[in-house]
Structure formats: structure tokens, C-alpha cells
Amino acid sequence: MSVCTPFNCNGLSKSHCFKNLLTSQFINQFQVTTIPHSVPLPSLHLSESSRCSKKRLKLVTASSATPAVEAPKISFRSKSPKDINVLVVGSTGYIGNFVVKELVRRGFNVIAVARERSGIKGKNSKDETLGLLSGANACFSDVTKLESLEKSIDNLGISVDVVVSCLASRTGGVKDSWLIDYEATKNSLVVGRKFGAAHFVLLSAICVQKPLLEFQRAKLKFEAELIEEAKNDEGFSYSIVRPTAFFKSLAGQVELVKDGKPYVMFGDGKLCACKPISEPDLASFVADCVLSEEMINKILPVGGPGKALTPLEQGEMLFRLAGKEPKFLKVPIQIMDFAIGVLDFLVKIFPSLEDAAEFGKIGRYYAAESMLVYDPETGKYDAENTPSYGNDTLEKFFKRVLEEGMAGQELGEQTIF
């Protein structure tokens, strides 16, 4: 069931969550942020329930004693952030939560969609989830169900200007990837458009450039539909953010090195490289996409500051910071190929091993593929052409984790790029 929580910012009270307060008084009071008289209808598939709600929206408009003349549509970009409603899905994730905080800090009116039990394996209670989303208007709903999401937003009685999606499968399993990275993300587009969204910011991943994994295919399918949506409606735009590796994805061996264990890497440790980016820096980049005209209708690869780093260089940095003698365990990549071959064979007999086989492929992918801009013509990754953003360095991050531990950097059920 979807439940909207009290609005806890911008002076909106608990009662405003409920649809029965969608009165002309409410509309007048929050004129700038309420449903526009003419919501452009998305060219996306809408379920039966969406159509019903569309009629309800028309009713609200008809009863609001407004002259039949349509008001000229004002771009949300000309409004002040406090009057811009940004719907964030995936608001409780590693990056999503920083995005919520950054948008709140910049003064936007943020509606953060979440599950009542959020986090890895639902570790956060409802109250903890509300705490995570403080400053935003938390909206508990189910993004995997179009009707549920639509009803939740309808209950809020507001329009949406921008949708920001930081959704991602927490497992990287085949079905879950399609459910979250494609379907749930698309639900947020359909619902966002229905309530007036003119811009969609998608947190994707740089690795979709060379798609060999199911979650990459699911993300790419959504990206293509998002781009198509903007092609069909000049009043709608997108920004697709494709970041390189997150700090958390590179932190898995910090504790081991600290405990005197060797740093494990594949091949000679130079098979892949990345330009890691911190959560606050990436959140700031995503928040820039909300208003920046320069980021409209673009696919934006982005990495952190400094040069690209191979696993060997990351390991050397860790040993230096930990004050330990470098010790490397070099694992031949062929071991992974063998394991994947065995799993692929077993899946044919035991389909339930589908996810195990996929996890093997995910591991193989990140052991050998760089998280940098890829040139399909040359088949090479290009560190020089991978844009840098922000100030936080991996070195500073490693230092912090060595001193304070991994709190807040949990890897999830699978480490997914």
C-alpha cells in the first residue's frame, strides 16, 4: 500500500498529502507548484488506471473556475528552486540519498519516493528512512507498480517539474534488473510525465557503452525510450548521467590490506582503469542537470578528479596509506572464464542458477573492462576523454576508510556498476 508521509518542508502540512485537499484553495495557495492546466500527455503506454486518473485531473481543472483559455506554459527553469517540484526515485540508495540532500540544500521542493523499509535487505525502518530523507517530502510508494506510484503522486495533489531517477537493482540479478533498471524506472517516467514533468535526469552507468550484462541491457532499453520520448515532444528533455566507478566499489579491500592481507587483482592489475567519483560530487553533478541548459538532451559520462587509476595503482596507494609493505595476489582472469563456462552449462540444466551465472559475468566484466569513455571504432577506453568533475579524491577516501571504517559504504548484495 502506498502511504504519503506528512510534508516536512516548505511549510506544507500533513493534511496536504491527501487528495481531498486538492481544492481550488489549495491550488491558489501553491499556484506555482500545482498541476498545470494543460499537462502534456506522454506518448508512453499508460495503464487503465492512468487513464482514470487523467480524467480525475481534468475534473480538478474544470472545477477550478479558470477561464477556458489555456495559460501559456512557463518553463520550470524560469522558476525559483523552491517552486520547482523534483520527484526523486531511488532516493534511499548510495547516490540517491546524496542527490536528495543536495537538491534540498539547493532549495528545490523534493518529493522523495521510498519503500517503508529501505536500504540493503530493508535494514532501515520507516523512521530511519524518514530520517534519511529529512528536508524532503517523503512519499512511501511502490515504484515497481505503475498504479501504486501514480496514486501516491496523485494523493499529493501537486505537479512534477523534474524526475530524477537513481533507481538500481540491489542484486543485479536478471529479473530484478529488468524490474528496476527498466520497468520501475519507466514507471517513474510515465507517472512523472502524467503529472507534468518536463525533464528527466537518469543516473545510468558508464559501462552501458559496452553492454554484456542484463542490467546494462535493461538500462540501455530505458535510455533509448527516454531519448525517443524527448524526440517526440520538444517540451520534454532528458539528461543521462553515466558515471564511472563509485568509491564504495573500490573500497572492498581496504580492511583486508589494513589487516596485512594481500591486495587481490586480476592479471597484472592493469586490465582495467577508472576515474572514481565520490557520492557528494556525483550528487552535485546530478543536481546540476536539473537546471543546466547545457546538460539538456545529452548523455553525460562523468568521473572524479585526477587521472585514471588501475587496480594496481589503487592497491599501491592503499599500502602506502596503510603504511604496509605492498603484497599482491595476482589471479589469472581465465579462472573467471572457467567458472562462468561451468555456470553457463549448469544454467541449462538448473535454470534457478541464472542469477549465479549472471553474478559471475558481472565479476568478470569489472575485472577486465575499464570504467572510462569507450571508443567503439578503436575498441579502446579513453581516459583523456572521460570528463572529470568534483574535488574528492580516492586517496582522501581511502585515508578516511582506513581511519574510520566502511560505515555508509556497504557494498550491497552485489557490487554493481
Residues that bind ligand NAP (CB under 6 A): 90-96, 115, 118-119, 143-144, 166-170, 180, 203, 205, 243, 245-246, 249, 412, 416-417
* Minimum distance, C-beta of residue 307 to ligand NAP, in the bound complex (Å): 18
Backbone angles phi and psi of 222, in degrees to 5:
-65, -45
| CB of residue 104 to ligand NAP, shortest distance in Å | 16
Which CB, 203 or 394, lies closer to ligand NAP? Answer: 203
- Please state the φ and ψ torsions of residue 279, each to the nearest 5 degrees: -60, -50
Spatial separation of the C-alpha atoms in residues 43 and 190, rounded to whole Å: 9
Q: Shortest gap between Cβ of 365 and ligand NAP (angstroms)?
A: 12
Residue number of the CB atom closest to ligand NAP:
93
Question: Which residues, other chains included, contact 311 with Cβ-Cβ below 8 Å and sequence gap of 6+?
Answer: 263, 265, 266, 269, 270, 271, 272
Q: CB nearer to ligand NAP: give 236 or 246.
A: 246
Looking at the Cβ atoms of 30 and 398, the one nearer to ligand NAP is: 398
Task: Quote the crossing angle between the two packed helices 311-322 and 394-404, to the nearest 10°.
Answer: 50
Q: Which is nearer to ligand NAP, 233 or 313 (CB)?
A: 313
The minimum distance between CB 352 and ligand NAP, in angstroms, equals 20
CA dist 310 and 296 (Å) reads: 32
CB of 369 to ligand NAP, least distance (A): 12
Q: Are 20 and 26 in contact (CB under 8 A)?
A: no
Least distance (Å) from ligand NAP to the CB of residue 166? 5
Classify residue 392 as left (phi > 0), alpha (psi -120 to 50) or beta.
Answer: beta
405: region left, alpha or beta (phi > 0 left; psi from -120 to 50 alpha): left
Secondary-structure percent of the chain, ordered helix, strand, coil, rounded to 5: 45, 15, 40
CB of residue 214 to ligand NAP, shortest distance in Å: 12
For 94-236, list the strands marked E by DSSP.
109-114, 137-140, 162-165, 199-203
Q: How far is the CB of 130 from ligand NAP (least distance, A)?
A: 13
User: Nearer Cβ to ligand NAP, position 140 or 236?
Assistant: 140
With respect to ligand NAP, which residue has the nearer C-beta, 33 or 148?
Answer: 148
Distance between CA atoms of residues 286 and 302, nearest Å: 10
Spatial distance between the Cα atoms of 275 and 312, rounded to a whole number of angstroms:
14
Asked whether the beta carbons of 373 and 303 are under 8 A apart, the reply is no
Q: Is the Cβ of residue 183 or residue 229 nearer to ligand NAP in the bound state?
A: 183
Contacts of 156 (CB under 8 A, 6+ apart): 4, 16, 17, 111, 137, 139
* Closest to ligand NAP by CB, 57 or 226: 226
Phi, psi of 19 (to 5 degrees): -65, -30
Angle between the N-to-C axes of helices 185-194 and 146-156, in degrees from 0 to 180, rounded to the nearest 10: 40
Nearer to ligand NAP, 33 or 188 (CB): 188
Q: How far is the CB of 73 from ligand NAP (least distance, A)?
A: 31
- Of 92 and 278, the one with the shorter C-beta distance to ligand NAP is 92
Bridge-based pairing state of the strands 263-266 and 199-203 = unpaired
Q: How far is the CB of 102 from ligand NAP (least distance, A)?
A: 13
Q: Of all helices (H) and strands (E), which one includes residue 242?
A: strand 237-243
